Amino acid sequence: MSGRALYLDLAPGETRGVVTLAGRAERLLIHRRGDLAVQALGAVAVGRIAAVDTAAGLAFVDLGEGPQGVINITRETGRMVEGAAVEVQVRAEARSGKGASLRWLGPSQGRPRLIQAPPSLEQQLQAFAPDAPIHTGAAAREVADQAQDEIALERFGLPSGGRIWVEPTRALTAVDVDLGGAGTAAPKRATRAANLEALAEAARVLRLKGLGGLVVFDLVGRGHDAPALLAAARQAFSPDNPGVAVGQVSRFGTLELTVPRRARPVVEVLADETGRPSPRTLGLRLLRELEREALADRGGRLEGVGAPAVAAAAREDLAELHARLGARISLRAEPGRPLEAFQVIRL
């Protein structure tokens, strides 16, 4: 038994899957209406070489929909020729303005197109705990909402009373470990406990947020037990293998490691370029609130009121809510209303 539990929330406009470990969210998977299958992790497609950068050893591939992907030119791929058709598989999704990383499968023919769909969200979810049942309904909705709220946090508490801050930048993700008030009685013991706990908690948080690449821990204290820390890091990040690489504890008290990037970071799905919830995220949240109220009042008429951008985003998936609960639900845009200040009104 892995100790993991699985939840699947079928909400208007999106499906959300959650993996929990010991009752805490470990992963959040999101599939929204309109997502491009050809850009998803595991998809197999025919693409066409759009450009070749010989100096960088890269070939840029038109997949037919969405941003161009990138192939690393190797001995296996041979010479890449602009305009040639190739069969590829998405091994890492597009992120932060960077196209998907593609695995070269061989030469092909014809126009860019999807030839093998990626695993469904339910299949992805089940892969994390093959023997665990998938819970749906109200319990899944609550767990998914809580996981989504936690993703927006930067500070996370540790069992010993310390805390960590997880802050992604363009180059790396920084994890700052802080004792808080935990080290007043026995500072050496508290320092060791905080650093070991920080590795386990940061691994969970990074999986939840979908963050990968270079991760740098700013450890607390001095004179670290490097063998214990390295063993703890390998154990904490073992679910992210293959591809995790753990460095040494530096004389500056930092520990570096790399975590493979695969799926698009969940924070990018949920937030806009400023880091705040996007109108699409808020619009879908408004629809969930409308659905909850409509289920509580089977005959009542409801109206969702939000900022124009939020109301417009919610309207894209309103038909799905109507199909579930009837046309007694409406939306109204209110100019000047703050983005996150939407509400549901009983008519």
Secondary structure in 3-state letters for the chain: CCCEEEEEEEECCEEEEEEEECCEEEEEEEEECCCCHHHCCCCEEEEEEEEEECCCCEEEEECCCCCCEEEECCCCCCCCCCCCEEEEEEEECCECCECCEEEEEEECCCCCEEEECCCCHHHHHHHCCCCCCEECCHHHHHHHHHHHHHHCCCEEECCCCCEEEEEECCCCEEEEEECCCCCCCCHHHHHHHHHHHHHHHHHHHHHHHCCCEEEEEECCCCCCCHHHHHHHHHHHCHHHCCCCEEEEECCCCEEEEEECCCCCCHHHHHECCCCCECHHHHHHHHHHHHHHHHHHCCCCCEEEEECHHHHHHHHCCHHHHHHHHCCCEEEEECCCCCCCCCEEEEC
Q: Six-digit token pair at 2?
A: 């892995």
Amino acid at 267: V
Amino acid at 130: P
d(CA 40, CA 51): 22
Highest CATH level, class, for 4-36+119-148: alpha beta
Which residues pair with residue 254 across a beta bridge?
218
The string of pLDDT tens digits covering residues 72-95 is 999 999 999 999 999 999 999 999
93 CB-side CA count, 13 A: 21
The string of pLDDT tens digits covering residues 188-214 is 888 999 999 999 999 999 999 999 999
| Residue 268: pLDDT over 80 | yes
Give CA angle at 24 (18, 30), nearest 5°: 20
Q: Is there a contact between 12 and 324 (Cβ–Cβ < 8 Å)? A: yes
Give CA angle at 244 (240, 249), nearest 5°: 125
Q: Is there a contact between 238 and 200 (Cβ–Cβ < 8 Å)? A: no
**pLDDT on residue 275:** 85
**pLDDT on residue 223:** 84
End-to-end CA distance of the chain: 49
We find that the CATH architecture of domain 152-266 is: 3-Layer(aba) Sandwich (3.40)
Longest dimension (CA), the chain: 70
Q: Six-digit token pair at 272?
A: 């806009």
Q: Six-digit token pair at 207?
A: 């999986």
- Residue 339 CB neighbour total at 10 angstroms: 18
| Residue 185: pLDDT over 60 | no
d(CA 114, CA 44): 6
Give me the mean pLDDT over the 118-146 stretch: 96
Enumerate the domain spans of the chain: 4-36+119-148, 42-116, 152-266, 271-346
The string of pLDDT tens digits covering residues 275-312 is 899 999 999 999 999 999 999 998 899 999 999 999 99
In this prediction, residue 181 has a pLDDT band, given cuts at 50, 70 and 90, of: low
Q: Is 42-116 in CATH node 2.30.38.10?
A: no
**pLDDT on residue 2:** 60
Packing angle of the helix pair 279-296, 318-325 (nearest 10 deg): 10
d(CA 340, CA 343): 9
Q: Is 271-346 in CATH node 3.40.1260.20?
A: yes
Q: Is there a contact between 168 and 186 (Cβ–Cβ < 8 Å)? A: no
**pLDDT on residue 1:** 40
d(CA 11, CA 314): 12
94 CB-side CA count, 13 A: 20
pTM of this structure:
0.92
Amino acid at 250: S
